[in-house]
Structure 1
């Protein structure tokens, strides 16, 4: 099959062990990013299969209609960037491994790294040192502080294990079903949503973005947090209501934000009032961007390609296409 891989910005994938799974296929890797319809249609004109690098490039009906040779889109995890009905209408199968069975260790590690960096003001202390002004004000010790995890799932569970190793007190909030699962597992659940935000020293959200969860975290939630607290988001920017981060920074409640996700992405506005604020630690959506994580994720993606080529597709999202 003629396989085109989009958005491998650092030309990483061919250096990973999993790339050997594409042996026998004609592979083209694009290392830049474009959403120009004409450019994409020209690049992918001969593609039998397109591999998506997470949600970096939207796949629209207008694009699909210009790719008559395309048979398969292979990717991993959620697919809000893919027009599934248009895929079906154009005879394109979408395969995406939705339940890989284990948490993203990379995303979990980054979440806890942001908690540590915020508690000890690591970026700000570095800047102070380089400016010749030596130390800033004291930071926070994690032991004994309360971490609130919103969303009782795999990544949140991994973050909880890191936090407990540091002696933090972990409690949970989330949907009714998620709180029921936390209770059943013997985990501590906050007595109310209000208490969860007001009494946590750190709040980290681990929820999938869907139409139902968009804007899940409100300005009221953030403004209920302590001035000494930190809000962490390594999930999706859209989980936080529009304007809520700006309101929080203006009120200094919570006092700090630690963010890995933005809207839109790539986010390049250096004058944005959130990313330019001194009390914000921000990283460019690198939660999943480690060699180990990419190797695991793309092994799944390549397995889907080989299964399709063998006539036995797996993880099919639109089975109407056969």
Structure 2
């Protein structure tokens, strides 16, 4: 079965141990990304199977119409809204769900928390320019300078001990980040569904009394929600405006959880004072993306799940699903109706 692996940005798939599972199967991994429907259709014209790296490439109805040979899609990680599942089913394209682990994204979340609160990117960048113990924030003029609302001492990093960690969402990743916060001596405050808040209280954490209190009380606020129609744009400009000028917003989940442009405007107004962002609405982002130009926003290129052990898990499961399909015993199929077609 002719197999295509898309968007292997770092050219790592062929170096993974689990790739030996594909011995005997024709496959090709593309390291560059193409966005246009026409370009994708040309690239995938002869593909009978696709292995997708997370949500990097949307599989739309229009694209499927141009792929007459496609019969199988193997997802790395969990299924998302990037695949038009109904269109796949109608065309007899079976889709297999993958496996996931909270470890890598939880650790990246905490790395961003520590890097931002201790101003590490700013110190490191200035040190390479010969500037000793300066972050650059102290040159902005503080709360009376450029209108950002940053406090005069914002150039100093802060310790996490004794501060409040707010978590919107208390699934597997949120639970791990909550444990990190507890280990660092933070007060952990959880917001989310009733079930999430109850589970958090059972684990010895606090549930926020209200959405308003959650945003205003959090010194570090991290989002850990799945993206769906109910959560799209769930964080509003009004929510962000309630955050303190010294607060940090972290988003390693999905950019679309925040209302369009709300974070950009909020950071320019200085509430919150800092953000650490791993996800963007369109990826890869352009070099002139406005968030990249803000001194109070730390950006990473969606690497929450990009880690060797995680990749071995993701691709190992995806390749198992592919082999099982080829051998006539499909596994983890989310649209079994497609098999009958």
TM band (smaller chain):
over 0.9
Corresponding residue for residue 323 of structure 2: 306
CA contact under 8 A between 2:198 and 2:207: conserved in structure 1?
no
**Does the alignment pair 1:33 with 2:33?**
yes
1:1-322 equivalences in 2 (<5 Å): 1-75=1-75, 76-97=77-98, 100=99, 103-136=101-134, 137-270=155-288, 272-322=289-339
Cα deviations across residues 290-317 of structure 1 (Å, max 9, x unaligned)? Answer: 1221111111111111221222212212
Residue of structure 1 equivalent to 2:151:
none
* SS of match in other structure, 1:183: helix
TM-score, normalization: structure 2?
Answer: 0.89
Contact 1:106 1:287 in 2 (8 A): yes
Contact 2:101 2:310 in 1 (8 A): no
Question: Could you tell me whether the CA contact under 8 Å between 1:104 and 1:293 is conserved in 2?
Answer: no
Q: Secondary structure at the match of 1:264?
A: coil
Deviations 1:33-55 (A, max 9, x none): 11233332233222221111111
Contact 1:35 1:58 in 2 (8 A): no
Q: Which runs of 5+ in 1 are unaligned?
A: none
Structure 1 length-normalised TM: 0.94
- Count of residue correspondences: 318
Distance in 2, matches of 1:246 and 1:11, equals 32
Alpha-carbon RMSD across the aligned residues, in angstroms, is 1.5
Q: CA deviation at 1:96?
A: 1.3
Secondary structure, aligned partner of 1:156: helix
Deviation string, structure 1 residues 63-96 (Cα, Å, up to 9, x no partner): 2122221110110313211111211121111111
The Cα shift of 1:197 comes to 1.1
Match of 2:338, SS? coil
Higher mean C-alpha displacement, 281-290 vs 155-164: 155-164
Match of 2:337, SS?
A: coil
2:70 and 2:93 in contact (8 A); partners too: yes
After alignment, is 216-225 or 28-37 more displaced?
28-37
Extract unaligned runs of 5+ from structure 2: 135-154
CA distance in 1, matches of 2:303, 2:314: 14
